Amino acid sequence: MIACMGSTGRKMEFSEIDENSTVFPGEYVYHEPSSAIVLAGAFNREKDYLRVLKDGRHLEDKICNFKKIKLSDKEKRDKQVKKCGGCKGI
């Protein structure tokens, strides 16, 4: 596990992408060579690559160069979308 300070002053923690984990399109991951948070696109374990968007440009690199960003329980709760309840019907 790797840790660094984010722009908010909060310590960010990262974990390896192993053979049991997967990366979903739209998920933010850490790219070690450029030290940047990037937006994941295509994930292909068989061909060992992850395609991402970095600064608005397409980037493809080996999976081992990326780390997953670990969220705290509070961050996971805050990230969930809450519905207004208007769609429940009458």
> Could you tell me the residue range of the domain that residue 36 belongs to?
2-88
Mean pLDDT of 39-61: 94
Q: Which residues of 34-72 are buried (b: 16+ CB within 10 A; e: fewer)?
A: eeebbebbebeeeeebbebeeeeeebebebebbbbeeee
Taking residue 30's Cβ as centre, other Cβ atoms within 10 Å add up to: 20
Total domain count, the chain: 1
**Which of 6-10, 17-21, 70-74, 84-88 holds the top average pLDDT?**
17-21
What pTM value is reported for the model?
0.72
> Which range has the worst mean pLDDT, 14-18, 26-30, 48-52, 75-79?
75-79
3-43 confidence digits (pLDDT tens): 455 555 567 889 899 999 889 999 999 999 999 999 999 99
